[in-house]
Every structure is written in structure tokens, then in C-alpha cells.
Amino acid sequence: MRPGTYIYNDLNTYYQGVCRLEDCAARVAVTVVSTAIAGQAVIDAGSKTLSSDLLSSGPQEGYGYVVEAPDAKLIKLNEEHGYLDISGSSHRFRVGEVLTVIPNHVCTCVNMHDDVLTLRNDEVVGSWHIAARGKIR
């Protein structure tokens, strides 16, 4: 049984052909914190936010899918930051810009957060507390 994956879907289920990208309900809101290096943007989400799980299907590279810039590649994570290769992207990245990332593996991603915000028509309509967070023994 995989209730987390079934409820949310993720990039792995997309590449397995089980869902469409628009069926991936879990999205992580991230902020661009640097564009100082040409061809690179840094976001405020790293392995502590997205998990370090790689894809098990599809291209088997990268750490998530940037919805607003599909041609940007999330190529590296440290604990607090993600590094986007934007050298081939047509998107104009700006410091302070909020983007959304579909995680590779939603189960590990959700398990690292205290709460999940629920949205309807881009408006926050509720919050779910992650009761099992940190309960692995």
C-alpha cells in the first residue's frame, strides 16, 4: 500500500506513466535566493525540504520539476539550497520569485514537514498536520 503516492502523485509516478504532471498534487513553494552566477539560480529548498531521492524512472536525474520553468534543471542539493541549471531555460529568474517544484518522491518529502497546506484555485483553504512526522523507530 502506498497511500502517500496515491493521494499526491509525484515525479516518479509521472515518469512511470501512471499520471499526468497536472495530477501531481504535491508542490513545494520555493523562493529564488540568488542569480549571481550566470546560468544558475539558487532556491531556498534543499535536501531537508525536497529529500535527496533521485528518480527511479524516466531520466533518473535531477531532484524535482520546476513547474514555471520546465526547461530548468534542479541539478544539485545541499541541506538548505537547491541549484538550478538555467543555462538552457527561457524563463527569466528573479531573486524573490516564488516557484513551485514537484518532488521526485512525495512520501519522503511530506515526511520532512510538520504541515501541508491545502489549496483550491490557488487559495489556501486548510492545513493538514503530519501526525507521523518523526515517528519512525
Domain architecture of the chain: domains with CATH: 3-129 (2.40.37.20)
- Number of Cβ within 10 Å of residue 52's Cβ equals 14
Give the residue with greater pLDDT, 134 vs 106: 106
Sort strands 64-66 and 98-103 into parallel, antiparallel or unpaired: antiparallel
Over range 45-57, report the average pLDDT.
93
Spatial distance between the Cα atoms of 9 and 5, rounded to a whole number of angstroms: 5
What is the predicted pLDDT for the residue at 137? 66
Query: pLDDT value at position 111?
Result: 86
Q: Are 91 and 71 in contact (CB under 8 A)?
A: yes
pLDDT digits (tens, 9 = 90+) for 65-115: 999 999 999 999 999 999 999 999 999 999 999 999 999 999 889 888 999
| Whole-prediction pTM | 0.91
Distance, in Å, from the CA atom of 1 to the CA atom of 108, rounded to the nearest integer, reads: 15
How far from each other are the two terminal CA atoms of the chain, in whole angstroms?
19
